[in-house]
Amino acid sequence: MLHIAICDDDSVACAEVEEILLSFRNTLPTKIEIEVFYSGEDLYGFITSGGCIDLIFLDIEFKTVNGIEIGKKIREEMKNETTQIIYISGKESYAMELFEIRPLNFFIKPLQAEKIKKAVKKAIELIEKGNQFFEFKNGRNLLRVPIKNILYFESNGRKVRLITQNEIHEFYGKISDIEQQLNSKDFFQIHKSYLVNYFHVTEYQYESVKLTNKEVLIISQQNRKSTCNWLLQRRKEEKS
């Protein structure tokens, strides 16, 4: 079951998104359940009270708390990196402000049904991928860490450090072997010692990236151009 929220203070806009979703629900690999909210506060209250939401269609312009603030609360206060957010707006000017919230997409009104359908399928794919694990040996023990929780890998001599929000694991290995084991387009190398999870990057500078744990990692001079191109291509693919 995919739990979808539509949040917009315009009831007509909410009805439009809901109608589009219902029009192709039978073509999806999973059932969908739709909740409608007419304010960001109501949506946030629902989530904080334990309501399950996998994907949010979130308007940006509200009379009170706007969609960007709600997105930041979900990511920063709730430490929620798994709920996918698709922003909806009548203006393109918000695009850069959304980077640190890591939305799945950003749609300009009027909405296109085909783009929404593609985005929902992408959300399902990411949620399924979020249930995958990275396995490694620590001594005689075989450990498994959810891939979605990994911020980055750091190579240190013959050992590798695996960093999550709350834990650090260390094991013998090579960055190149880990990259091959992950076989994921979501991890990219910014330095010979760093393999970073795209979904935990909140800020990008030409010489560094900032992660969800507020840590800043340096991009090596050799990797700056390739990192920039990789991120631009990634954003381009998400918007297409």
| Residue from 164, 160, 161 nearest 173 by CA | 160
pLDDT computed for residue 50 by the predictor? 79
pLDDT computed for residue 131 by the predictor? 67
pLDDT computed for residue 233 by the predictor? 87
Environment class of 6 (CB within 10 Å of its CB; exposed 0-12, middle 13-18, buried 19+): buried
The structure tokens listed for 93 are 């000017």
Which ranges of 89-219 would DSSP assign to H, the alpha helix? 113-129, 175-182
Q: ∠ CA 101-107-113 to the nearest 5 degrees?
A: 135
pLDDT computed for residue 19 by the predictor? 97
pLDDT computed for residue 178 by the predictor? 94
DSSP structural state of residue 76: I
Profile the chain (240 residues) by mean pLDDT over runs of 10 residues: 93 96 93 94 90 92 88 88 89 71 89 94 83 81 86 94 93 92 88 94 93 94 94 79
The structure tokens listed for 32 are 């969908």
Please give the domain boundaries of the chain with CATH numbers for all domains: 2-129 (3.40.50.2300), 133-239 (2.40.50.1020)
Single pTM value for the model: 0.64
What is the Cβ-side half-sphere exposure of residue 5, based on CA atoms within 13 angstroms? 24
How far is residue 239's CA from residue 46's CA, in Å, rounded to a whole number?
28
